[in-house]
Amino acid sequence: MSGGVSASSPRWHALTPGALLGRRKPPAALLAAGLVIAAGAVLPAVYLLIVIAGDLGPALDVAFDADTGLVLLRTLALAAAVTAAAVLIAVPIAWLTVRTDLPGRRLWATLCTLPLVIPSYVGAYLFVAALGPNGMLQDALGVERLPSIYGFFGAWLVLTLFTYPLVLLPVRSTLRRLDPQLEDAARGMGRTPFETFRTVVLPQLWPAIAAGGLLAALYVMSDFGAVSIMRFDSFTTEIYVSYKSAFDRTATAGLGAVLVALMLVLLWVNSRIRNSRALHRLGPGPSRPPRPYPLGRWRWPALLGCSALVLIALVLPVAVLVYWSTEGIAGGAVSAKIVGALAANSLMTAAFAALAGGACALVIALLAGRFPGAVSRTLERMSHAGYALPGIVVALALVYFATRAVAPVYQTLTLLVFALTVHYLPLGIGPITAALGQVSPRVEEAARGLGRGPLEVFRTITAPLLRGGILAGAALVFLHAIKELPATLILAPIGFETLATEIWNQTTFGFYEASAIPSLVLLAIAAPPLYLLSERGTVSS
Amino acid sequence: MSGAPLVLSGLRKSYGDVLAVASVDLAVEAGTICALLGPSGCGKTTTLRMIAGLERPDAGEISVGDRRLNGPGEFVPPERRRIGMVFQDYALFPHLDVAGNVGYGLGRRPDKRRVAEVLDLVGLRGEADRPVHELSGGQQQRVALARALAPTPELVLLDEPFSNLDATLRDRLRSEVREILADAGVTALFVTHDQAEALSIADTVAVMNEGRIEQIGSPEEVYSRPASRWVASFLGEIEVVPGDASNGAVECELGSLRVEHVNEGPVDVLIRPESVAIGLSGPQDAPAAEVVSRRYYGHDQLVALRLPSGRIIHSRRFGFPAWHEGDRVRVWIDGPSDVLPRA
């Protein structure tokens, strides 16, 4: 060897093409914006901890209280029961609609996914309005009393019917990607169809089932509207009651922290499952499309099952909604003016949240996608904090923060929009990151080389190419923000009612006619962005 | 429009403790085409990106004409370098049509006549309004070239410009691009790992390995007078036969060669298979050999020969007449060969 290469100097090494090319430091303004956004995203969690740390005694008391333990068990039992039922519904439906010759399978797939559109508290309201005291069934039968639908069973039924699509979507998409030749091979080795499903298909579906089941479990644990309408004491209702009644806010914060801890445990378990269970196809690329499995005479029970599900989860709720809406209009229970004002409030709040969420998500996605590094990665992770915090906990933490630290924003729309933005920011980041992944950095470099500065390149190249992703991200934030109930209940300025709060208020008082029109309007507002998102295929994310 | 000379000196780039470019010195004359040839990962693309201003060199200088783009404490950002670049995947702007792409470097209100002129140059007249995703690979390639040429740069950089095209199209476009670049009179530097591409398009070939340039020369020079065994074998099949140099001649198993500028002593003779001639009879001192195998490629055949010493060497001949295993032949060197001191 010629020349003395000292041990500390860099050694020559063949680079994997593009591995390190174009690594740059982020512009100061972008970095500063990212810092502010990430700080905002972790503010609720951090402040919750500050509140608890400032007065540890009561918080620990309530966290380790026997009653808390009981509520915890009840919530976990509900989450487990809903998740199990959702998996039991979703896996057969997924298999029937992907792998068999079920007549009209594509239509069934769509119909079975649609219940996801109905917010769980609207679903709960519709069940109560149909089967509860003074509901449709009681009217129709003309009896004094019906067996109660409230409590664990009611909450379980409603949450199952409106969360099973969360499992159906990932399982279906995984089933579609499975290599059907593996099943052919298993059959060729003498396995029966059922054994083949159990030994070959099911193991490959586990990651999707786990991911979907986790989404359902997280949903149940953070759900507030459906459980409170079904009068089931869950962790979130407990927190709400404690917040409304007690003067000791540390105790409420303690409850919130326990719930967050629970969700973090589930998220951690999920990430372990995803990493350990990743299955890869061995061998070369695309295989032939699967041959549908002939159902034969089993198609009749299959059709019956699908019909029953669609009837209970979709047709009946919509029929009930239409029925009570016409009742409401006929009885004059709602004025167009009031509903208009409610809709305007909902739209305004959600639109602000979508605007802020889209902009913040863009900053975070640009940092993570274009300036990878430890700092960007940390900021991106911090921005996902809202994912692990139920809406009610975000709202609580911000109430404490506002009343103690920045009193002028308490009881303002600003605080509500801030809460919604922080809570749903992770939803906005996904589609923008995906869109950015489609834009090669070389395209931006080409624009630089053609004489345009970084800002000009962003304006003329990057921004137009990201438009679809930014719209999708903002639409997702909008959809969830307009449905959000507990955060709105807690943070909305006094006298500021939205469609969501009105539905909840009226239903808890048993005024079903008065809830119907706001529910219908809410669905009508949510439908167009939802349709656009499902066309883009981002809704399942 | 005319090109300006490009000069690189002591260019160096590392990422953390990974050295991508060790030290690159290169001068490209104005208006000529230079190929930066090397295996993947040798640092050639990093070098290209440093010239474009997309990477900051750790050390070294870059100048185009009398403009210094990089030097100690100096860094001209890419948008002020006036260097055209053609990317491997073309990096066309997908939301703009052909004219929008080509006119992008001409400012906010691009001169339509200039756009039409450049589209003419690359043979895309009449395609101005088409969306770029509707174009074939070859057309996209030409849009990328037109876009790079439109702002009349003094230097154009091309990163593996033909690697995304199928074989027949690639051949046609190589000569087209060469003509377009020559017509434009621009200096061009292109990166490739394909020796045939480098040899057939470039006026000068710079062979790069492990972050350094190993040889610079005309295509003929680097092919038939490689500066090292590595360069020799990277540019094509090569036979290495030991020999002895004395009195301006080299004696080796294949006979004696007249050479200049070689120190006396043990040497290696580097011969391309096409310079190894065989025949039923041959020059007087040509050794006898036996055909041990033969691979037939249609237009040519590769004949493996066992020399009296047992050494196997290869001869590339036209496809006809056919040689057969077991044929007794004579072997001699007929064509360029190179002599390097024995390693």
Instruction: Please count the residue pairs, one from chain A and one from chain B, whose beta carbons lie less than 8 angstroms apart.
Output: 105
Q: Which pLDDT band, with edges at 50, 70 and 90, does A521 fall under? A: very high
Interchain CB contact of B167 with A (< 8 Å): no
Whether pLDDT at B47 is above 60: yes
**Closest of A243, A221, A234 to residue A150, by C-alpha:** A234
When pLDDT is averaged across residues A234-238 and rounded to a whole number, the result is 90
Q: Do B104 and A449 touch (CB under 8 A)?
A: no
pLDDT value at position A4?
A: 37
CATH of A27-47+333-541, one of 1.10.3720.10, 3.30.365.10, 1.20.1340.10, 3.30.450.40: 1.10.3720.10
Whether pLDDT at A8 is above 50: no
Among candidates A10, A447, A461 on the partner chain, residue whose Cβ is nearest the Cβ of B14: A10
Whether pLDDT at A434 is above 80: yes
User: Taking CA atoms, what residue in B is nearest to A454?
Assistant: B79
**Closest of A352, A320, A364, A351 to residue A515, by C-alpha:** A320
User: Taking CA atoms, what residue in B is nearest to A438?
Assistant: B94
The model's pLDDT over B227-252, given as tens digits with 9 standing for 90+, comes to 999 999 999 999 999 999 888 889 89
When pLDDT is averaged across residues A95-110 and rounded to a whole number, the result is 89
Q: Do A449 and B53 touch (CB under 8 A)?
A: yes
- Min Cα–Cα distance to chain A from B308, Å: 36
Q: Which pLDDT band, with edges at 50, 70 and 90, does A537 fall under? A: low
Interchain CB contact of B335 with A (< 8 Å): no
Pairing of strands B83-86, B249-252: unpaired
The model's pLDDT over A384-406, given as tens digits with 9 standing for 90+, comes to 888 788 999 999 999 989 988 88
Interchain CB contact of B310 with A (< 8 Å): no
Interchain CB contact of B110 with A (< 8 Å): no
Whether pLDDT at B1 is above 80: no
Q: Which pLDDT band, with edges at 50, 70 and 90, does A522 fall under? A: very high
- Looking at domain B237-341, its CATH class is mainly beta
When pLDDT is averaged across residues B178-191 and rounded to a whole number, the result is 92
- Min Cα–Cα distance to chain A from B6, Å: 17
- Min Cα–Cα distance to chain A from B209, Å: 10
Interchain CB contact of B187 with A (< 8 Å): no
pLDDT value at position B340?
A: 87
The domains of chain A are located at 27-47+333-541, 65-245+297-331
Q: Which pLDDT band, with edges at 50, 70 and 90, does B274 fall under? A: very high
Both tokens of A129, joined, read: 């309005």
Q: Do B81 and A449 touch (CB under 8 A)?
A: yes
Among candidates A12, A446, A464 on the partner chain, residue whose Cβ is nearest the Cβ of B19: A12
- Min Cα–Cα distance to chain B from A299, Å: 45
Q: Do B104 and A22 touch (CB under 8 A)?
A: no
> What whole-number distance in Å separates Cα of residue A395 and Cα of residue A418?
10
The domains of chain B are located at 6-82+153-232, 237-341
User: Taking CA atoms, what residue in B is nearest to A466?
Assistant: B95
Q: Do B43 and A10 touch (CB under 8 A)?
A: no
Contact (CB, 8 A) for B156 and A449:
no
- Min Cα–Cα distance to chain B from A256, Å: 44
Both tokens of B338, joined, read: 């190179």
pTM of the full structure: 0.82
Q: Which of A105-119, A268-282, B47-61, B302-316 has the lowest mean pLDDT?
A: A268-282
pLDDT value at position A15?
A: 52
The CATH number of B6-82+153-232 is 3.40.50.300
Sequence-ordered list of residues with C-beta below 8 angstroms from that of B322, at least 6 positions apart, any chain: B294, B296, B301
My answer on whether omega of the bond before B321 falls inside 30° of 0, hence cis, is yes
In three-state secondary structure terms, B315 is strand
Say which CATH superfamily domain A65-245+297-331 falls into.
Answer: MetI-like (1.10.3720.10)
The model's pLDDT over A295-314, given as tens digits with 9 standing for 90+, comes to 888 889 999 999 999 999 99
Q: Do A443 and B43 touch (CB under 8 A)?
A: no
| CA–CA distances in Å: residue B30 to residues B34, B35, B49, B53, B187 | 10, 14, 20, 20, 5
A65-245+297-331: same fold as A27-47+333-541?
Answer: yes
**Closest of A374, A361, A348, A338 to residue A517, by C-alpha:** A338
Q: What is the DSSP string of A141-196?
A: HT-S------SHHHHHHHHHHHHHHHHHHHHHHHHHHS-HHHHHHHHHTT--HHHH
Contact (CB, 8 A) for A58 and A246:
no
Q: Which pLDDT band, with edges at 50, 70 and 90, does B92 fall under? A: very high
